[in-house]
Structure 1
Amino acid sequence: MFRRHGLRAAAAACCATAIFASPALAGGDGPGAPGAGDDYFPGYGNGGYDVSHYDLQLRYQPADDHLQGTATIVAKPTQNLTAFNLDFALTPKSVLVNGKPAQFSQDGTELTVTPSETLPEGSLATFVVSYEGVPSTVEVDGLNPWIRTSDGALAVGQPEISAWWFPGNDHPRDKATYDIAVTVPDGTEVVANGVNTDNSSLAGWTTWKWRTTKPTATYLAFFGAGNYEINEKTGAFGQPSITAYSDNLGELAGPAKASVERTPEVLNFLSGVLGDYPFEAQGGLVSSEGMNFALENQTRPTYSHLFFRDGANTSVVVHENAHQWFGDSVSVDTWRNIWINEGFASFAEWLWSEAQGTGTAQELFDHYYSQHPDDDPFWQVMPGDPGKDAVFDDAVYDRGAMTLQALRNVVGDEVLTDIARTWVSEKRYSTGTVEEFIQLAEQKSGKQLGDFFNTWLFTKGKPPVGEATGVPASAVKVAAAPPKAVAEIDRTHALLHEH
């Protein structure tokens, strides 16, 4: 997510450790837990079941922001389940469990469902929720991540958004595949994740169908409805590349296209560093209003027009597409582990700059290290445990990227590449923790790296120059002119943080 991107919307982090390997907490007969065990966001996600697929049938009217929906959730109970929760903010009209009416009650975003009979552990279960509402008017605990625009809406946000358009198990630990069908008035376009499988029109309404076949976290599922120019071509790896640009971009349409249409090139570069691209499609969407951030929605990153005010910006495209590996395929096990997502996405910008000849990663490290004096509050945020209110702090991005360049200096380029490739390969479509990453880095390097990571990720203060910290003497010398990439990266990050 482009947080720096002052553009990302949202906000939160998470704290539980690797103890919780799945969103469901095993147990005997009884209700599932109303949370997934995330210390930063204890109410997010639920226990007692695992979701494998969401089928979302929606009807959306841009004129009044009215959304009707029927969500069919295919799940497997992980205990003998007498009741369970779904994360949902709109108004449910009915709930069926395995075809039978179920009792339900709602408190904020907690929809508690009591089926007519206990659901056996390991059985196939289906939950069908019919609902409606005006998402832009629904606020829970001061939050409303839904983005209404003059011509439609954007269901885009982090870490919360899904509860404002479909019921689900809203935590990265419980990933699923999706079919998303959105019916809108003729002349309105809809873009979502994956591949556009069908479009059909009837009585003044058009239904757009999208499918993603790889496990997807709830906050990475999205749709955008409005007036868009949609382009489809063959992208990297022979996959469909689908891009969408708001009809209202005006003079920013050119620089936006000059940036996002380079996505296949960016993915080819990133796959050379990180290994095989983990998904079935690619592309992006650029809005013209409502957003001041970018988000790595799976297969289809979404960008604010603001990133392109000063011209083309490939840094944000690199950042959001690096998240397809770090964040989307391998997600945070709890939001406390956000450094793995944002540190690698920001470091990918540095590697891209290095490959483009606009500044090496070390030159960028030196610039950011010298830019922040010892007493700068920047050094008081610990990327490995930033706290709920600082999940998207500058330090998570910049100090996070610096950690990886420092690690590169300590273990060498080949070993760091091996660490990154092994991480995304072994944890594909699952989650990971900072502690697991440290363990892998020690295994691959043959070095004890506890002190190194403790200094960079878990200690307040500026890491000192030295071989043990990976900070070279060059870092304390302020260059007369910063690397060329700095202006674009800073612009991108400023936006992300503006949000």
Structure 2
Amino acid sequence: MTTSCISSASGDSAAASFKPGTAGVGDRLFPALGNGGYDVAHYGLTLDYAPETNRLKGTAVITARATRNLSRFNLDLAGLHVRLATVQGAEARYAREKDELLVTPAKPVKDGDVFKTVVTYDGTPRTIENDDGSLEGWIETDDGSTALGQPAGSMTWFPGNHHPSDKATYDITVTVPKDEDGDPYDVVSNGELTREEDKGETVTRHWRTKEPMATYLATISVGYFEVDKGWTDDDLPVYIATDPDESENAANVKDLVPEILGWASGRFGPYPFSSTGAIVDHVPDLGYALETQTKPYFEEAPDETLLVHELAHQWFGNSITPRVWKDIWLNEGMATYAEWLWEEKQGGRNADEIFEDFYGGTDSESEGIWAFPPADPPSAARVSDPPVYGRGAMVVHKVRKAVGDETFFDILRTWTRQHRHGNADTPQFIDLCEGKSGKNLTKLFDVWLFDKKKPSRMQ
């Protein structure tokens, strides 16, 4: 059923050359995510949030470029009540169909035009429970909330083009009241804190992300945090926000983040963002961490391996983002392999030994890695399953053994340089591996990346 609110006449949008943009971008695993017909350049989000009642008021200013003549376009938005929509300053008609917001501008938008959409909304943001029982979206915590978006949760707190193929820059401004004792809640988000304003009863914080970011990597964490600020050896600002309940166990995070980034920069190329850090919250039942851009989110104090994994994602997944969701192995296989390289560096098992432990099923993370090919998850519910991580890392190691260390690390650094702040896919990675090595690697990828069967060690 479609519900509609008309806030102005539609104008002349019936010309044959103007058509509605598509709902979804055609991703096999997530056909409803994203929207066709435009490309977002910037999100300006101004939010008022009351932790005591879990109520959110928001204004989203979305700057985009039309990629076709548009009579109408869609935005992904789950729940929340839309109060007003404008396009280029004129009131627009809007309607709701499930998790789609259909916007009909007063005047159609021409192909190539840069246009600004403003959506005013409010309500109680949703928490999404996925098929595997995991939670995403707007998640209440014991002292506030956190917003986590992989793969679809960001549409619970702002309207947008929620597919990783459309990356944008962000300004996120959040106003929260002080608590009953007059103490301010902290608000932590992606990028850099550019403004902080105490208005007596409320506090406003403005966070800016200057490099492109996929919507699933956007985050807000509201609560009480102990904040450590510092710098890496390369003069990169570091911002660590830690829930007081985790401060003792997470005491080493502020030293580990610069150390790991220094090491990873030598392996993968220059760090791709203008700041770094981490959010260490206290939500032990959440069950996962997430590589939210510039500040990976942890439900509790992370160990070194998990910290390495999420920081490696700043290169693999955040700077280089999959064009479609089935290529998520390029995120998770690379980040898992970073764990292997770190263990090797720390004097533990070397990468050959870890590979053998995964192949033989003796590694604690190896269960289920042969369930399906890493580059072809069978459904949306399986994109975070073991083959994407463990077998994905095994593919990476097989490439390393086939081309040699010098060429292998050249491949990684070239990959992160060529696709910095962009999108990439599996065929592009294969082409780079073959181009750099001068070898035909078809059989390697066919067997280890695409084949449904468990290969022999020697293949």
The TM-score normalised by the length of structure 1 is: 0.83
Structure 2 partner of 1:296? 291
C-alpha contact (below 8 Å) 1:28/1:79 kept by paired residues: no
Tell me which residue corresponds to 1:22: none
Match of 2:377 in 1: 386
Residue in 2 that maps onto 1:224: 221
Unaligned runs of 5+ in 1: 1-26, 470-499
* 2:395 alignment partner in structure 1: 403
Choose between structure 1 and 2: higher helix proportion: 1
Matches of 1:220 and 1:381, distance apart in 2: 26
Q: Answer whether contact 1:343 1:401 (CA < 8 A) is retained.
A: yes
Deviation at 1:116, TM superposition (A): 0.4
Change (3 A) 1:232 1:67: same
- Higher mean Cα deviation, 229-238 or 186-195? 229-238
Deviation (angstroms), 1:285: 0.3
1:140 and 1:348 map into 2 onto residues whose CA distance is: 28
Q: 1:328 to 1:293 in 2, by over 3 A?
A: same
In the TM superposition, residue 255 of structure 1 has moved relative to its aligned partner by 2.7
The equivalences for 1:259-274 within 5 A come to: 259=253, 261-274=255-268
Question: Within 5 A, what are the aligned runs for 1:106-185?
Answer: 106-136=96-126, 145-185=137-177
Specify the alignment match of 1:279 in structure 2. 273
What are the Cα deviations for residues 125-154 of structure 1, in whole angstroms up to 9, with x where unaligned?
100000001114788999863211121110
2:230 and 2:207 mapped to 1: Cα distance?
Answer: 16
Identity of aligned residues (%): 43
Aligned counterparts of 1:359 and 1:332: Cα–Cα separation in 2 = 30
Name the SS for the 2:370 alignment partner.
Answer: helix
Equivalents in 1 of 2:136, 2:404: separation in Å? 45
Q: For residue 42 of structure 1, what is the amino acid of its counterpart?
A: P
Q: Whose relative contact order is higher, 1 or 2, with alpha carbons under 8 Å and at least 6 apart?
A: 1
1:347-378 superposed Cα distances (whole Å, 9 cap, x missing partner): 001111111112211111111111269x9753
Cα distance in 2 for partners of 1:380, 1:288 equals 33
Q: 1:257 aligns with which of 251, 264, 271?
A: 251
CA contact (8 A) 1:177 1:215 kept: yes
Letter in 2 for 1:304: E
Aligned to 2:24: 35
Q: 1:138 to 1:66 in 2, by over 3 A?
A: farther
Q: Is the 8 A contact 1:108 1:140 kept in 2?
A: no
Aligned CA distance change for structure 1 residues 28 and 317 (closer, same or farther; 3 Å): farther
Q: Which residues of 2 match residues 440-455 of structure 1 at below 5 A? A: 440-455=432-447
CA distance in 1, matches of 2:236, 2:22: 40
Q: Give the counterpart letter for 2:60 in structure 1.
A: A
1:105 maps to 95
Matches within 5 A, 1:419-434: 419-434=411-426
Once residues 235 and 422 of structure 1 are traced to their aligned partners in structure 2, the CA distance between those partners, rounded to angstroms, is 24
Shift of 1:49: 0.8
What corresponds to 2:13 in structure 1? none
User: Aligned residue for 2:427?
Assistant: 435
Q: CA RMSD in A?
A: 2.0
CA contact (8 A) 1:81 1:121 kept: yes
Task: Give the 3 Å change call, closer, same or farther, for CA 76–254 of structure 1 in structure 2.
Answer: same
Alpha-carbon distance in structure 2 between the residues aligned to 1:407 and 1:133:
49
Residue identity opposite 2:234 in structure 1: F
Kindly indicate whether residue 58 of structure 2 is the aligned counterpart of residue 66 of structure 1. no
Q: What SS class does the counterpart of residue 29 from structure 2 fall into?
A: coil
Pair 154,352 (structure 1): closer, same or farther in 2 beyond 3 Å = same
Tell me, in whole angstroms, the C-alpha distance in 1 between the residues paired with 2:63 and 2:137: 26
What residue number does 1:475 align with?
A: none
User: Which residue of the partner structure matches residue 357 of structure 1?
Assistant: 347
Residue 196 of structure 1 pairs with residue 193 of structure 2: yes
Deviation at 1:28, TM superposition (A): 5.0
Q: How does 1:463-474 map to 2 (within 5 A)?
A: 463-466=455-458, 469=459
* Partner SS, residue 122 of structure 1: coil
TM-score under structure 2 length normalisation: 0.90
The answer to whether the Cα contact below 8 Å between 2:34 and 2:161 also exists between their aligned partners in 1 is yes
CA contact (8 A) 2:76 2:162 kept: yes
* Aligned CA distance change for structure 1 residues 28 and 78 (closer, same or farther; 3 Å): farther
Deviation at residue 232 of structure 1 after TM alignment: 1.2
Aligned-partner residue type, residue 84 of structure 1: F
**Alignment correspondent of 2:3:** none
In structure 1, distance between residues paired with 2:137 and 2:233: 32
Q: Do the aligned partners of residues 362 and 259 (structure 1) sit closer, same or farther apart at CA in structure 2, a change above 3 Å counting?
A: farther
Greater percentage in strand: 2
Deviation for aligned residue 1:236: 4.5
Q: Which amino acid aligns with 2:256?
A: R
Asked if 2 retains the 8 angstrom alpha-carbon contact of 1:136 and 1:148, the reply is no
Count of equivalent residues:
432
* SS of alignment partner, residue 45 of structure 2: strand
Is contact 2:128–2:153 with CA below 8 Å preserved after alignment? no
